[in-house]
Amino acid sequence: MKVGGLRQSLELCQFDLRGPEPSDGILANISRILASQKSNIAFLTYKTNKDKRCQLSFCLNQDQSPRASKILNQGLQLPPVWEMKSREHVGMITVFPRHSALIILGAVLASWGAQSIPIYGIATSLSAVSFTTDYRIMDKAVVAVQDSLQLPGNRAPIKPELHYYQSEVKKRDKV
């Protein structure tokens, strides 16, 4: 299976929340809390079942982990039946383009499973398939993907060289 390339993320942290869907919507609540802290969500998956139980997983930059944990614990006031777990040292590998996403998914699941590389989450986007795993073994995970998919010969995985922050400064502040 030929693909266009791979991209690696910076180090992330991942939060996983599970429980019955609150009436006011967990997605809106959490995204509002994170936006109020100017925290960018690098990756998010959400699914609610027919019995109204849901799971929400999302990744933030690793440097936001302690603050986000504190704020989510204080601000969410989840019912006791809810479970919130966080894990640090998470990395994301994105394979693009995503046409034949099922084949890419199958190849990565097979190769990572065979090498005991953990899979924390998967999401497709407009042009790619992203997988979250243990940041500390990203190089091994990348090699496994390279061995199972056909990448252009001269194209190395893209590693992040820029760390973007959105400034709090607005145009009117400068006037």
Partner 1 sequence: MMETIAVYWEQPIKTYGFQMVTDLVLVAFSYPLKEITSLGRILSRDALQEVKSEFIIAQESGDTISITLCLSERDYRDFWVSVAEAPGSTPCEYTYPVGIIYFHGPHFGDRYGIAEATFSTLTQANIEIVASGCSASSVFVVLAQDDIARAENVLSHTFEVAK
Residues near partner 1, by CB under 8 A: 1, 16, 18, 24-25, 27-28, 31-32, 34-35, 37-50, 55, 57, 92, 94, 100-103, 105-114, 118-130, 160-167, 169-171
Q: How far is the CB of 152 from partner 1 (least distance, A)?
A: 19
Whether a cis peptide bond, with omega within 30° of 0, leads into 80 is no
- The distance of closest approach from Cβ of residue 38 to partner 1 in the complex, given in angstroms and rounded to an integer, is 5
The residue (of 70 and 154) whose beta carbon lies closer to partner 1 is 70
Under DSSP, is residue 104 helix (H, G, I), strand (E, B) or coil?
A: helix
CB of 153 to partner 1, least distance (A): 22
> Closer CB to partner 1, residue 119 or residue 154?
119
Phi, psi of 173 (to 5 degrees): -70, -25
Least Å distance, CB 154 to partner 1, is 23
- Region of 52 please: left (phi>0), alpha (psi -120 to 50) or beta: left
Which CB sits closer to partner 1, 46 or 82? 46
Angle of CA points 124, 24, 31, to nearest 5°: 45
Sign of CA dihedral 63, 61, 159, 117: positive
77 Cβ neighbours under 8 A, 6+ residues apart: none
Task: Please say which residue, 114 or 156, places its beta carbon nearer to partner 1.
Answer: 114
